[in-house]
Amino acid sequence: MRLLHTSDWHLGRSFHGVGMLDAQRSFVDQLVNAVTENAVDVVLIAGDVYDRALPGVDVVGLLDDALVRLTAAGAKVVLTSGNHDSAIRLGFASRLLERGGVHLRTRLAELDQPLLLPLEGTDAEDGALLAIYGIPWLEPRLVAEQLGVETASHFEVTRAATDLIRADLRRRTCHGTVHSVVLAHTFASGGVSSDSERDLSIGGVGAVPLDLFDGFSYTALGHLHGRQSLSSNVRYSGSPLAYSFSEARHQKGGWLIDVGPAGIAGVTELAWEAPRKLAVLRGGITELLESTDHAWAENAYCQITLTDAQRPAQAMERLRSRFPDTLVLGFDPQGVAAKPASSYSSRLAEAEDDLSVCCGFLNHVRGREPDDAERAALAAALDNVRLQEASL
């Protein structure tokens, strides 16, 4: 049996103000093709299917289309909710959807209710089974009491959830061989984060130890957006698309997991093609506009940091003449002589006249002294104000 581990689709998310629904449709196309070409039996989605609890109508339509196409391609789908999803809304009509091959695991009551699939012949009652469990995102303050734990922490509620799963596995293995796959949306110790994940807690206390997943044949994690292996049987698939510039170097994809009567037979990488490249550029504005080294970034989404000693005039407009999809612009002046530490208010008190106040403010907010034309415009504006005041 072949499984495909994905997570963190974040349908409906934008990228620095740019809508990503078309890019997400492209991912769904790739996913459906991968299911067909690789003869995938089960698609796993480990949480954060949507980007927000109340997704738009077109976003819900995209998920509906994806589930219809995946099941039409012959795959079952097992889906858990993440911290971006509304578990109640995502889990709507779960019993009805199960008849069509879509298995939602969004409720605590379903923690120890696996999808059971035969690994040796469809009718062999004594053959090896695969049990797929889903742990939805567990908000400790909301579920601690229901799970019977005294401390509302990610560690305690996740341990309680995995204990329930292990207890169910023990009952089932008394009657034959059962291999287990667990989906969980959480931050496991050792995972490498990126800028686009929402913090699960403050101060890092949300991380759960890796040994909570010991004993499971495979653990399909969601939440972190970089594809990574934490151990031979615990992995993050990462998000299918980059959702921050910190993911510019990520190779997006999923994991293909082959399961046989003896357990996990192999895990291989599966790559997704990015619809647009991401470029993180840094340097002086002249070098960035003229160097042929940056030609590859002309059709990419760009994050640019200018290192000029003074902020160049009309920097964004000039950069977009070459890099039209510059989405983030920052400044980190290099080679600037250190200035005596003084507050803006103290410098304001030293201003000689109104024009000096205006020029000082302009320098304060943009890091560059006004040029002659700008000084003349400010002086003319001040003269007009004085004339208006004199006429009152």
| CATH code: domain of residue 95 | 3.60.21.10
Whether residues 319 and 227 fall in one domain: no
pLDDT given for residue 385 in this prediction: 81
Please check whether residues 168 and 312 belong to one and the same domain. no
Cβ pair 78, 132 in contact under 8 A:
yes
182/295 same-domain check: no
Q: How far is CA 357 from CA 274, 310, 312, 352, in A?
A: 49, 19, 21, 8
- Are residues 384 and 307 part of one domain? no
Q: How confident is the prediction along the chain (392 residues), in pLDDT tens digits per residue?
A: 999 999 999 999 999 999 999 999 999 999 999 999 999 999 999 999 999 999 999 999 999 999 999 999 999 999 999 999 999 999 999 999 999 999 999 999 999 999 999 997 544 456 899 999 999 999 999 999 999 999 999 999 999 999 999 999 999 988 899 999 999 999 998 766 667 655 555 444 478 999 999 999 999 999 999 999 999 999 999 999 999 999 999 999 999 999 999 999 999 999 999 989 999 999 999 999 999 999 999 999 999 999 999 889 999 999 999 999 999 999 999 976 555 556 666 666 666 678 888 888 888 777 778 888 889 999 899 888 877 766 66
pLDDT at 203: 41
What's the pLDDT score for residue 21?
A: 97
Q: Are 247 and 194 in contact (CB under 8 A)?
A: yes
Residues 168 and 311 in one domain: no
The SS3 assignment for 277 reads: coil
- Whether residue 167 is found in the same domain as residue 292: no
Query: What order of strands is seen across the sheet that includes strand 263-271?
Result: 102-105, 76-80, 42-46, 2-6, 253-260, 263-271
The total number of structural domains that make up the chain:
3
Q: Give every CB contact of residue 346 below 8 A, 6+ residues apart in sequence.
A: none
Same structural domain for residues 329 and 366?
no
* pLDDT on residue 197: 57
The per-residue pLDDT for 348 is: 66
Token pair 């997943």 in the structure block, residue: 213
- Spatial separation of the C-alpha atoms in residues 362 and 134, rounded to whole Å: 56
Residue-number span of the structural domain to which 87 is assigned: 2-271
Does residue 66 share a domain with residue 91?
A: yes
Name the domain boundary from 230, 255, 271: 271
Of 271, 296, 328, which one is at a domain's C-terminal end? 271
Q: How far is CA 62 from CA 49, 57, 270, 390, in A?
A: 11, 9, 22, 64
* Residue 69 pLDDT: 98
Question: Domain check: are 230 and 369 in the same one?
Answer: no
Identify any residues that bridge with 5 across adjacent strands, giving them in sequence order.
44, 255
Do 239 and 281 lie in one domain? The reply is no
Measured in residues, the chain has a length of 392
Domain boundary among 246, 271, 296: 271
Question: What pLDDT, on a 0 to 100 scale, did the predictor assign at position 193?
Answer: 62
Say which residue the tokens 């991401």 belong to. 278
Q: Are residues 73 and 180 in the same domain?
A: yes
Q: Are residues 89 and 215 in the same domain?
A: yes
